[in-house]
Amino acid sequence: MKFIYRFFPLLLITNIFGQIDYSIIQSDEQKLILDFNVNLISEDNLKPISIVIGIPNNEYPELVIEYGNNAKISKNWKSSEFTGIQWINIQRLQNLNVATLQIDPKKNRFYYFKNIRITCLFNTINSFNKSPRLNEKRILNHRVINWPVAKNWIQPINKIKSHKTFYDNGQWAQFNISEDGMYAIPGSVIINSGLAISNHDPRSFKLYTNSSLGRDRSNTIVESVIYKPINENLVETSIYFIGEEDGKLDDNDQIIFYGRGVSGVNNKGLDN
């Protein structure tokens, strides 16, 4: 990682996190250049922000960081611990390798940088990629800031053989639903669930269902439908996350998704 101090002009503003604005100066398969303009007007703005970047492989890109002017932090504000600019997470999301970059604009307890330029240098290698599916495009289009380029790095789907258990890194939580319909999981429920998620970016959350998309057909229907969770051949399902933009999980955040309940017919001939 390289650090350079210099002055540079800020170009067109395209995205806003509180009082931290950023614009994409260049985006191609070799590099991504971002300019940040920082104007802290409240103590809350001292908190780092996170952005999700599509990458061509499962390695963190090299960072070149250039700092511009700095400004004083109000004496009345309680400054959080300085964390700098760093990669905090890498994962495969909807068959695309993505990395989360955390940006802390503070220079120290007394000053912050008003202008920051970050260049990500990608280590591209020739490999077989595929065009994104509709579901991949819908989920990643507004999450990955360099999606117009990153969509060319979608990896082929590795087919999972029948009866092969699916595993993924991270913490797992299981819940059941009984009927088809739209559902919302409040952030407060996740926070109070006992999971250690205080340092996890909610944009890395995933939701899975069984291979029959919620329909449990592995049980014999006798007098009632018995729902037995299926832990094999899991399939990722689409979610809409309200409040994920700030990179942290809050009580008022919500995960919105469409779920399907069990299927079958009970002994009275009524659909379940």
Question: Helix-strand-coil percent breakdown of the chain, rounded to 5?
Answer: 10, 35, 55
Residue 46 has a pLDDT of 79
pLDDT in tens, 4-38: 444 333 333 344 444 678 899 999 999 999 999 98
Share of the chain above pLDDT 70, in %: 74
Structure token digits, residue 233: 């051949």
Measured distance CA(57)–CA(246) in Å, rounded = 25
Q: What is the mean pLDDT of the chain?
A: 77
Residue 153 has a pLDDT of 94
Residue 54 has a pLDDT of 95
Angle at 190 between CA 237 and CA 94, to 5 degrees: 25
Greater confidence (12 vs 271) lies with 271
Measured distance CA(154)–CA(131) in Å, rounded = 7
Residue 65 has pLDDT above 50, yes or no: yes
Residue 182 has pLDDT above 50, yes or no: yes
Greater confidence (93 vs 199) lies with 93
Highest averaged pLDDT of the listed ranges 71-80, 107-116, 223-232? 107-116
Give the distance from CA 148 to its chain's centroid: 17
Average pLDDT over residues 112-141: 87
Segments making up each domain of the chain, as ranges = 2-129, 159-272
Residue 110 has pLDDT above 70, yes or no: yes
pLDDT in tens, 11-20: 333 444 446 7
Per DSSP, 218 falls in state: S
Residue 177 has a pLDDT of 79
Burial-class residue 116 by CB neighbours within 10 Å (0-12, 13-18, 19+). buried
Average pLDDT over residues 96-117: 92
Which amino acid is located at 221 in the chain?
Answer: I
Residue 226 has a pLDDT of 39
**What is the 3-class SS of 59-125, one letter each residue?**
CCCEEEEEECCEEECCCCCCCCCCCCEEEEEEEEECCEEEEEEEECCECCCCEEECEEEEEEECCCC
Query: Using CA of residue 181, residue 182, residue 186, residue 192, what is the dihedral sign?
Result: positive
Who's near 198: CB < 8 A, 6+ residues apart? none
Structure token digits, residue 99: 């990395």
Query: Using CA of residue 11, residue 12, residue 15, residue 21, what is the dihedral sign?
Result: positive
In the chain, how many H helices and how many E strands? 3, 16
CA-wise closest residue to 73 among 102, 105, 36, 48: 105
CA-wise closest residue to 112 among 120, 103, 125, 102: 103
Residue 212 has a pLDDT of 62
Residue 40 has a pLDDT of 82
Which amino acid is located at 201 in the chain?
Answer: D
Tokens 């996190």 identify what position? 17
Residue 233 has a pLDDT of 67
Average pLDDT over residues 152-162: 72
**Confidence label for 173 from pLDDT (cuts 50, 70 and 90):** confident
